[in-house]
Copies of this chain bind each other. A is one copy, B any other.
Amino acid sequence: MTTFRARPVVVEMNHLPDPCAHCGARPFSVCSAIEDQDLARLAALAHPFTIEAGRSFIDEGDPAENFYNVTSGTAKLFKLLPDGRRQITGFAGAGHFLGLAVSRTYSFGAEAVETMRICRFSRPKLRVLLEDFPALERRLLEAASNELVAAQEQMLLLGRKTARERLASFLLARAEGQIMLPAGCSHAGRAEAISLPMTRTDIADYLGLTIETVSRTLTRLRTERLIEIPTPSEIVLRDVHALESLASGLN
């Protein structure tokens, strides 16, 4: 279950994020090979801007003109079917890259969950970037590889796990900071109290369920004393061991 996450790259000089609420560490650090004077050149290429919570900044099907690096906040990434069915494929926090794949149009949409700050690079500028900072390419490869591992884990969840198992997996992943926490921010232990800044609809669309099933399943986990639900957006893990065996498909 140990996932190695790429240490993210700062591309915006004048915006250093707050320390992580859980571990106190800065959620991202400067890529070792991109320092000082290099960083200045890099920052000169970036177009940093702010996205309000709820605003979407990538629309599926639009021409894929830009490449993004998240500086702070979190976005949800999703794909849609014509009748409105939605699958959230992941959450992108500080340090994450978006729009890496070379294709004519974006294959996904992105919307800010919390107000976020991101850096935009045009494709030509990304090319300049990659030529000037070879280390960036390695970092991107690392990030993409790890995302691929996460995607495969999510395919197992969506294809083969029950609703209970999906929720248990989700809560544990969230507790371990794998979902919607700044990348590269590794917590010593696992938080037993976790916040759910996303709505039930988002959770449902991420887990391939309906909001009703999410709600019911959480209620059932509560009556079984595996979790507590002080408020709808706050969950306490009471029996991590049981949740873990549930998440891995035992029971």
Contacts and interface: CB of A to CB of B under 8 A. Distances in A.
Interface of A: 2-4, 77, 79, 81-83, 85-87, 89-90, 100-104, 107-108, 130, 134, 137-138, 140-142, 144-149, 151-156, 158-161, 205, 207-208, 248-250
7 contacts: A85-B249, A89-B151, A141-B141, A151-B151, A155-B155, A155-B158, A159-B207
B81 A248 contact: yes
A208 B159 contact: yes
Given A4-B103, A137-B137, A151-B151, A79 B156 contact: yes
B146 A101 contact: yes
A153 B107 contact: yes
A107 B152 contact: yes
Contact of A87 (B101, B159, B207): B159
A250 B87 CA distance: 16
B87 A155 contact: yes
A77 B77 CA distance: 24
Given A145-B100, A145-B102, A148-B101, A155 B79 contact: yes
Contacts of A205: 159
